[in-house]
Structure formats: structure tokens, C-alpha cells
Amino acid sequence: MSLSVAMATALSLLNLTGSRVAAIADNVSNVSTTGFKTREVRSSSLTTRQSGGGSAGSGVRGVVRQSVSVQGLLQATTSPTDLAISGNGLFPVRGGPAGNIGDRFTRSGGFTIDAGGFLANAGGFQLLAYPTDAQGRTTSTTLEPVNLGRVGGTAQATARIDVGANLPAGAAIGERVNITAQIQDSLGNDLEVSLTFEKTGVNTHTLTIADPVNAGTGVAAGTASESASGGQPYAIDVVFNSDGSLQGFDADRDGTVDGSLAPNLSIGGLSTGGANMDITLDLGAANAFDGLTQFAGPFTIGHIDADGAQFGTASGVDIGPDGLVTALFDNGERRPIYKVPLATFTNPDGLREISGNAFEATEASGPPLLGTAGSGGAGSIQAASLERSNVDLASDLTRLIEARVVYGMGLETLRTADEMMRDLIDIKA
């Protein structure tokens, strides 16, 4: 090996060591960066093929190794939009021009609502997801930025009324009792429906339901009917067993119990502008005491429960382990709005890092595979959590000490080769 080659070899060692120190400095400076993945510069020998068939060493080169696949520790936070991934995968994000959709990925899940209502992290990247319907089913195969600023208000129409009460066994024929239930239409308007129970025979009471009225004014607001009767007024017989439990219902009032469930209540023609309603009546299970009963004693109401909700505005968000984003409203309602997928790669360590603690796919990483969190090899999403950097300060300090020693040896080698070269020049002179 000539002296010039020795000097070039020593110089390659100095360059490699400088790259190692630069990588260590980058790791240390990002020790508190959410989702940061450490880098290490490893060495690879360079060999020159000689004309005689042999080979000679001619230096060393650095190979950067990323640790995207290495999980960092998860740390709990108080923000529901802080997201961490437990396991494989990265969040798909948008960065740069608006058309740049779905080709950036990150583990930096410290998302907050920006001025436009979008969820964006510290690097300015916006979280991407699929829009969903009210049942949480995705409605598009195209990713779009998650925008919580455009979540409108909501109201929920009543779909179920549960009633529990004791009807007096000793009531005289024709004696009546009333129960009023408050419900909401699809626009969130408050309505009231009156359920009247009239003693019509031994162990038998007839239930009629009057047309709904506006809860504030008492003015009729629609028409009530039995859903299976083609629009006839709601009137059925409620039949009890001799032990006071509910036997069942005689919907056509022909003296024979024909069902263990009360027919649904239909409400149409609402003057409020709300949609027609089909309401399930839960008056208790047959041969049980969890709804209507008939015992001696006074009329008592155990419970009157109806679902539905008045108009409410968005007050928060909940993100599940599967990535389902649910808007929370101040009327107690919940509505799914997005589904956040995770991107997995055959070789995540082959991703190319870009500014903002994000990555883009390369031939080495393979293309992204978008799938549901918690399935198909993808990790689960942990809300109100952040992934700490996976920087190991002890390892970096050890490598830094080693680099300092190696750099000194490289300088000594270069200095020796330089002195030998000078000596050789002096001899020729």
C-alpha cells in the first residue's frame, strides 16, 4: 500500500468518525423529540481490486442505520388528541402542498387542533384518516385530513321507551292511570306522549297511547299509531299472570295473548318538521317482574327511561385503539366521524427521513400498506399518550468516547504518513 493510499485511508476514517459524531449529536439533541428514531453510522470496509488478482484495503465508509422499527417508551398525557402507537406502524400524514396526500408518515403523534381545525403535529403534518358514517363504517377509500373544526351539532331521535310500573290488581273495571314519557324528535324537539292503562278485565289492562304534544306548549305535534296496524290508534291489551308477572300482549284485543313484546309505537306527521319515528316499547319481559307488574296496592312508577337527545354541540373527541375517531357532544351523544389507519412497511428501517420528524417510502422500505390499527400486523393506537424518542444516551456516550479515541488514531495515522512522505521527499532532494 502506497503512502498516498495510506493517507486516503486515514482520511476516510476521519470522515467516518465525523459522521458518527454528527449522528450522535443529532440523537442527543432530539432526546426529547416525540417519536424520534435514533440513527447510528456503522462502518463498512472499502477494498480495491489489484491488477494481479489480489486486493488491498483502501479505507472505510459509513452506512447509516435507522431504528424506525424500535419502539420508544409510551408516556401518558392529558390531551385526548395525543396519539402513540404500541407496536408496528406509522400515522399517515399530509405535509406540503394540499395535493400531497398519503405519502408522508410519522410516529410523532402530538396532534393539536390548528387554526383550520385540522389535527396537526409539531412538524406541521396533518393527520389523515377515512371518513365514516354514524355507525363507524368508512364511507370512502380516499384519505383526508382530520378536521375537528367542521364537526357540526347533533340531535338524536328517541328510538326506545322503557317503562316499569305496578298496576293495581284491585282496581275497578274502567279505572285508569297515566304515565307521561318525554321524547325527542330527529331535530331535538321535546315531545310528550301519554300512556294510559285502563282496567278492562281480570288480570287485563288496555294500554292506549295518545298523540304526542309539544312539551313546552301542550299543543298536538303529530299522530301516534301502532306500527303493525296500518296506522290505527295505539290500543293493546296487557295481560298478567296470577303471580303478578307480565304474561304478554294481545295486540288485536281478541282475548288471546299473541306476543311477549309490545308492538312498536309509530309517530308521524310531526308539525316540528322532524322525521317519522318508530319507537320500541320495553314494558318488561314475559313471566318476569322487570317492567309492568300487577299486585294489590297503589299505582307506582318504577322507572320511565327514553333515549334520544336535544341538540348539542361538539365538546370533545375520543380516539379508540382501532383508530375510530368519535366526536363527543354536550348533550351526551357520541358520533363516529373518522377512522385513522396505520401504515406498515416490509422494512420500516429503510424509510427516508425528512424534516419534521416524518418519513417517506423508498425502494428499501417497500410501499406502505394501510390497514386497521390492531390487526394485520399493525399496532394499536393509544390516545392521551406520546411515544418518547428511542435514543439511548448511555450507548451514544459510549460511541462518542470510542469515536474520540478512533479519531485520534486516525489523526496519528495521517500525521505519520505525512511525515514519511516528507522524509521520502527529502531523500529524493
Mean pLDDT of 67-92: 94
Cα distances (Å, whole numbers) of residue 81 to 108, 154, 317: 12, 21, 8
Q: How far is CA 421 from CA 407, 414, 425, in A?
A: 21, 10, 6
Rounded CA separation 79/93 (Å): 19
Beta-carbon contacts of 397 under 8 Å, excluding residues fewer than 6 positions away, are: none
CA distance 262 to 19: 78
SS3 state of residue 142: coil
Distance between CA atoms of 390 and 296, rounded to whole angstroms? Answer: 72
- CA atoms 44, 49, 53, 56: torsion sign: negative
Q: According to the model, what pLDDT value does residue 50 have?
A: 59
pLDDT at residue 52 in the model: 55
Residue 22 is predicted with a pLDDT of: 83
Q: Per the structure block, which three cell numbers stand in for 7? A: 493517507
| β-sheet bridge partners, residue 369 | 344
pLDDT at 275 over 60: yes
pLDDT the model gives residue 350: 92
* Rounded to 5°, angle at Cα 376 from 371 and 382: 70
The answer to whether 414 touches 59, Cβ cutoff 8 Å, is no
Q: How far is it, in rounded angstroms, from Cα 357 to Cα 345?
A: 17
Nearest to 72 by CA among 115, 106, 22, 113: 106
Question: What single string gives the DSSP state of each residue in 331-395?
Answer: TS-EEEEEE-EEEE-S-GGGPEEETTTEEE--TTT---EEEETTSTT--EEEETEEEPP---HHH
Write phi, then psi, for 364 (nearest 5 degrees). Answer: -70, -35
Determine the Cα–Cα distance for residues 190 and 222; give it in Å rounded to an integer: 12
The pLDDT assigned to 99 comes to 43
d(CA 84, CA 391): 17
- Report the alpha-carbon distance of residue 427 to residue 429 in Å, rounded: 5
Question: What confidence tens digit (pLDDT) does each residue in 205-239 have?
Answer: 999 999 999 998 999 999 999 987 667 899 999 99
pLDDT band of residue 97 (cuts 50, 70, 90) is very low
Residue 190: what pLDDT?
Answer: 95
Alpha-carbon span 108 to 155, nearest angstrom: 35
Domain boundaries defined on the chain: 3-67+390-428, 74-144+338-387, 156-311
| Residues 276-318 pLDDT 10s | 999 999 999 999 999 999 999 999 999 999 999 988 888 899 9
Residue with cell string 375520543: 318
DSSP 275: P
High-pLDDT (> 70) share of the chain, %: 93
- Say if domain 156-311 classifies as CATH 2.60.98.20: yes
